[in-house]
Chains A and B, each alone.
Chain A
Amino acid sequence: MAGALLEVTGLSKRFGGFVALDGIDLSVAAGERVGLIGPNGSGKSTLVNCICGTLVNETGSVRFDGETVDGLLTHERTRRGMARSFQLPRPFTTLTVADNLRVPLLYTVNARPGRALSPTELDARCAELLQLVALADKRTHLPRDLTQVEMRKLELARAMAAEPKLLIADESMAGLSQSEVDDIVSLLIRLNERGITIILIEHIMRAVMKFSQRLIVLVSGKKIADGLPDAVIRDPEVERAYLGQ
């Protein structure tokens, strides 16, 4: 697809004899909201790790924003505009909530060419991001004082602080209540409306269906479906993978 923001071609990853990903092709257009689903162990997180450079894929290549990013380290990909949140929140535990956001601002936004943010601008940006995820009053707290849903929001805010073009949210709603899930979904949609392309990896189908404009299904390391959400979930192959025959 021409003009795709993210383009993955023939990506494979194996752990010893186990093939975790087998020739994955996918592309995501700028501004799109894509859902990525699949049963446990189907390779979703491995795919994210390969796209972000945490794991090195054996074959295939990842193109981002018109350039190949193969061989680049994770922080280099982050600087190019690829951000992710982790499945289990991984906050910087000894830094305050505001300082957690300061790190990507200092190391990503200020590391890009152009004018660096001044200390007062940094403070303002942190405050703005915290406002966005409704954590402003927890600014000076340590992450251990946050609730689960607040932790997830911090995780998303930290990914957002890097001013990404693409945000990959890896199961950012697991274990949350219904209203909290709605909270996060509407947050993600708001971010998308600001022009950020989002890939959502999720098990909670209600959230996925509400969020996604397109759905990609991964089963045992292979992509078995890719299309409009309503069509994909009626696909017999997808049904078979989820419900058995």
Chain B
Amino acid sequence: MRTRVFLLLLIAVAIVVFFATRWVNNDYVFFAGYTVLQFVVLSTAWNILGGYTGYVNFGSAAFFALGAYATVFLHKLYPLPIPLLIVVGGAVSGIVGLGMGYLTLRLRGAFFAIATLALAVVLQTLIVNWDYVGGSRGAYIIRPNEIALIGPYIQYLFLVMLALVVIALTVARGIERSRLGYGFATIRDDELAAEASGVPTLRLKLIATTLSGALMGMAGAPFPYYIGYLQPSSAFGLEYAVNSIAMPMIGGTTSWVGPLIGAILLGSLQQIATVTISSAVNLLIVGLLLVAFVIIAPNGIVGLVQGWIRRTK
């Protein structure tokens, strides 16, 4: 019931954001905003596995790229509306997430992280050598200029990503408040004790990898329409893997608010830096901020605020 209230509230905020952006009446704001929103979805998705269960995934880019390439594949086969493509992209990445979970969840800590990195490399190699989706040449997606009811296509993409943010945040918050959330936390804390308390750890970990993967794939599905030309090196780019780890870490990994704050803060900062300084500064900013936060506030901004509240009480 309270989840429903939260969902309605989020939808209201999303509508306000959309019309506020429209009011600014500048296409660039939509372009930049899309990227920021995309990172909100990605970091929320990463946090479901990385923050709640404590399994660090370095392969976020692979799940994102799978969603994007599912779109390219279908675009060549039979063009579908974007909401359907998102469902397909989510399903593909979710299934790969499930498979990855099954293969790698016996590994812990750094070993799991390395395995996810390896998965990303394997998938990128597959895509580079798959001619139908463009191979290493990349693939062009020609998007329409306008769409009915909304107008410019970029506004439509922005709206779609806004909807994904609403879905991702609702899922994340729903998990936190449910039995699943407690189960995930016990996996993060002590798997042996979790099993002894009746928690089916393997099943929960598979749920986490599937959900996390699916949301990343959903974030990736509209990407080819946004960028217009998709090549493996951009879809599997380092910035996706690094950002989806750094944003939750900087925001705070224990609640859905953390990735949201981290992504908005870091995402906007990167967009501003791209315009004012240069696009190469992006990852440098992320790296510096990550180092600073690991030292000063290991529990992120949310942890910092929580600590401050506890002290003043």
Interface residues of A, Cβ cutoff 8 Å to B: 52, 54, 73-75, 78-79, 83-84, 86, 90-95, 99, 102-104, 106-108, 110-111, 158-159, 161-162
- Mark interface residues in B195-213 (1 if CB within 8 Å of A CB, else 0): 1111111100000000000
- B177-223 interface with A by 8 A CB criterion: 179, 182-183, 185-186, 188-190, 192-202
CA distance A107 to B203 in the complex (A): 13
Please measure, in the bound complex, the distance between the C-alpha atom of A240 and the C-alpha atom of B195, giving whole angstroms: 38
Closest residue of chain B to A111, judged by CB? B198
Q: Given A92-B190, A106-B179, A107-B179, verify A78-B185 contact (CB < 8 Å).
A: no
Q: Lowest 6 A-B CB distances belong to which pairs?
A: A108-B198, A74-B195, A107-B198, A90-B193, A92-B189, A104-B197
Which chain A positions have C-beta within 8 A of B190?
A: 90-93
Given contacts A95-B186, A103-B183, contact A54 B198 (CB under 8 A): no
**B183 neighbours in A (Cβ, 8 Å):** 103, 106-107
B186 touches A52 (CB 8 A): no
* Chain A residue, CB-CB nearest to B179: A106
Taken together as a complex, chains A and B put the C-alpha atoms of A161 and B179 apart, in Å, by 16
B182 touches A162 (CB 8 A): no
Q: What DSSP secondary structure best describes chain B's contact surface?
A: helix
Whole-angstrom CA separation of A43 from B185 in the bound complex: 31
Contact of A94 among B195, B200, B254 (CB under 8 A): B254
Q: Which of A52, A94, A103 contacts B194 (CB 8 A)?
A: A103
Known: A94-B185, A99-B182. A54 touches B197 (CB 8 A): no
Partner of B196, one of A52, A93, A111: A52
Q: Which of B93-113 contact A (CB under 8 A)?
A: none
**Bound Cα distance A73, B195 (Å):** 8
Q: In the assembled complex, which residues on chain B have CB atoms less than 8 Å from the CB atom of A111?
A: 198
Kindly provide the distance from the CB of B2 to the nearest chain A CB, expressed in whole angstroms. 12
Residues A86 and B189 in contact, CB atoms below 8 Å apart: no
In the complex, A104 Cα to B195 Cα: how many Å?
10
Closest Cβ of chain B: how far from A142's Cβ, in Å?
A: 11
Given contacts A94-B254, A106-B179, A107-B179, contact A74 B196 (CB under 8 A): yes
B193–A91 CB distance below 8 A: yes
Closest Cβ of chain A: how far from B263's Cβ, in Å? 23
> How many angstroms from the CA of A91 to the CA of B183 in the assembled complex?
14
Name the distance in Å between A175's Cβ and chain B's nearest Cβ.
Answer: 19
Cα–Cα, bound, A49→B188 (Å): 21
In this complex, the member of B190, B192, B198, B201 whose beta carbon has the largest number of chain A beta carbons within 10 angstroms is B198
Q: How far is the CA of A74 from the CA of B185 in the complex (A)?
A: 18
Residue from A86, A106, A162 having most chain B Cβ neighbours under 10 A:
A106
